Amino acid sequence: MNQLEQLRSLTTVVADTGDIAAIQQLQPTEATTNPSLILQASQLPQYQALLLDACRAHPDSIAAISEQVTVNFGAEILKHIPGRVSTEIDARLSFDCAASVAKAHSIIARYAAKGIDKSRVLIKLAATWPGIQAAAELEQQGIACNLTLVFSLAQAKACADANVTLISPFVGRILDWYKKQQPNTDFSGASDPGVQSVRQIYQHYKSHGIGTVVMGASFRNIDQIRQLAGCDLLTIAPDLLNQLQAAAAPLPRHLQPDVVRAPAAATPLTEAEFLWQLNEDAMACEKLAEGIRKFAVDQIKLEQLLQQLQQKL
């Protein structure tokens, strides 16, 4: 078996893309999208019909058009995968719990209008305190959530306290930060700080019997992926999936779900404890803020693209 086939025997493989053609080719179990990926896919000529459909359905609201576009892509992706698609809410709502909940319900309603049950959708929210509390409320209402931009154990613990379905710790962006701080340090293999972060979170969850699952994300190279073989899920960009498909060496399991159970987890983190622990982690604090800003920038670019398209109709 090639390494992609070996990985599939250990881990649920998820495609990190809005490119439907790539999903058809690589046949992942699930798929994740975000504002940046939707923006990239929206500029490809083969997907213009998905944009035009949204523009015609909502001629008076760019916000509604943009939201419909993300659902249109998600619905199309779901035709080609057996599992779920992750659809992200507007990053500008990352610090507004009530608005995040309302936006999630709006997205789920748009999927329902296309005949897609909420069980096939994961609502993605940034793992800020308000985002996590929004996810807690949504999970209680039967809407599964994917908490993204996870860079620290404190975020992971708060997500577990909220009983969220899934978290996405970011491997590559953690490595980026450390390489910038320590350019002469060897961060290869098991020394990669992004790999170490995911392993720490995974072991914490498994040792405490936490039901939230871990989906490693944001990979810079296939060695990071290999180091996390055995993780619950891994969401991987098409170019890295292709590299794994072309590799034939044995792929050992590195993460084991059967670990010695630790004593019961501590009492849930309070907001003050969460914010302090996050503040004490310079990398996590900086990368969370940066990630939200970047997604917001691409959300605005998508809206501008849609506005230009709408003016031509």
Catalytically active residues are 124
Dist. CA 259–CA 104, nearest whole Å: 35
In the chain, DSSP assigns E strands to 12-16, 30-32, 85-88, 121-126, 145-150, 166-169, 213-216, 233-236
Distances (CA, A) of 218 to 133, 208, 210: 24, 26, 23
Q: How many residues does the chain have?
A: 313
CA distance 246 to 243: 5
| Segment holding 21, helix H or strand E | helix 20-26
Which letter, b or e, does each residue of 162-174 get, where b requires 16 or more Cβ atoms within 10 Å of its Cβ? Answer: bebbbbbbbbbbb
Which amino acid is residue 186, in one-letter code? D
Rounded to an integer, what distance in angstroms lies between the CA atom of residue 131 and that of residue 98? Answer: 9
